[in-house]
């Protein structure tokens, strides 16, 4: 198992027009096992523009008899 980091080659990425941010942060096969891959892979939910955070007071403002 090779624990040394491989040299990150940006050339092919830039040729494809991909921004540098698309490059993987680390490419050592020694430290990038399956669990690390799954942890790094974010499953973002579909963006819902109506999703909203409803702020609530932390105590009742009044105590109506209802």
Partner 1 sequence: MHIDATQGESLFKYVFVFSDCVPVKGSATSAIYDLTRGLISTFPSEYYPLFELFRTQRLGQILDGFCEEDRANIREFLDFMSMNEYITLVDDLGPFPEIPFSFDAPGVIDNAIIDVSSQHHDYRKIVAALASLGCQHVQVRSYSTLFGLRHLVELAGLCHGTSIQSLEAVLHHEPAVSDDDYVAAVNANRLLAGLIIHSADQDRQIRADHGVSGASAPLVAVEIRMTRRTMASHLDCGTISRTNLLAPATRTFNELRHFNGCLHRKLSIDEDGQVRNCPAMERSFGHHASIALAEVVASSAFQRAWNIRKDDVEVCRDCPYRYACTDCRAFLDDPDVETSKPLKCGYDPYTDSWADWTTRPGATDTLKKYRQRVRLPIV
Residues of this chain that bind partner 1 (CB under 8 A): 48, 50-66
Q: Is 11 or 60 the residue whose CB approaches partner 1 more closely?
A: 60
d(CA 30, CA 53): 42
CA atoms within 13 A on the CB side of 61: 2
Q: Is 7 or 49 the residue whose CB approaches partner 1 more closely?
A: 49
Token pair for residue 32?
């990038």
Q: Shortest distance, CB of residue 53 to partner 1, whole angstroms?
A: 6
Q: Shortest distance, CB of residue 45 to partner 1, whole angstroms?
A: 9
């Amino acid at each position: 198992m090779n624990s040394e980091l491989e040299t990150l080659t940006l050339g092919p990425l830039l040729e494809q027009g991909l921004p540098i941010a698309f490059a993987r942060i680390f490419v050592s096969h020694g430290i990038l096992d399956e669990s690390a891959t799954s942890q790094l892979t974010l499953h973002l939910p579909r963006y819902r523009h109506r999703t909203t955070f409803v702020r609530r007071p932390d105590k009742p403002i009044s105590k109506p008899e209802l």
